[in-house]
Structure 1
Amino acid sequence: MEPQTRKEAREAREQAAEAARERDRQRVAVERDYAREQEASRAEAKGKQRIDQEAYHKVSALKAKLNWAIGIVVVMLIIVALVLFFV
């Protein structure tokens, strides 16, 4: 329905503009909250990734030590077998 007077038309435009500003405020608030949540989840994921990398390096070092230990045991078993065979 068309506004009857200029005053009513101006009031309708002002109400529409105010409603648009309010929607804008709500949208910006929601976007800020979303950005904060995303930042928090990124920081948490980065922390987990760092922990995973530390664990990976520790496991790699442990694997290397275990490989050396197995190699040394195999060499010692061969030496013992040779000593028993030749003595």
Structure 2
Amino acid sequence: MPELTRKEYRQQQKQAEREAEKRDEKRVETEREYAKAAHEPRKAPRAPHRGDFDEQTFKKVNSMKKRLNWAIGIVVVLLLVVAMVLFKL
């Protein structure tokens, strides 16, 4: 394999940089086009409108809310108990 001169090496490096810049410009342009297409409201996919909850779903959601509130309350009380035991408040 022949040795490269310093000038040939620099030329190869510059050529590689130019190619990388071209690829980067093309990538940026493609990303811009994609961003424009994604932000247009008529082209963006929409979730179907489900309307109000039916009665069964409403009851399930409310019961889960109550359980979550109870769980949060119990965790807070337990944290206070642990703090009192650790710090002897």
Report the TM-score when normalising by structure 1.
Answer: 0.46
Calculate the TM-score normalised by the size of structure 2: 0.45
Indicate the structure (1 or 2) with the bigger Cα radius of gyration: 1
**Which is helix-richer, 1 or 2?**
1
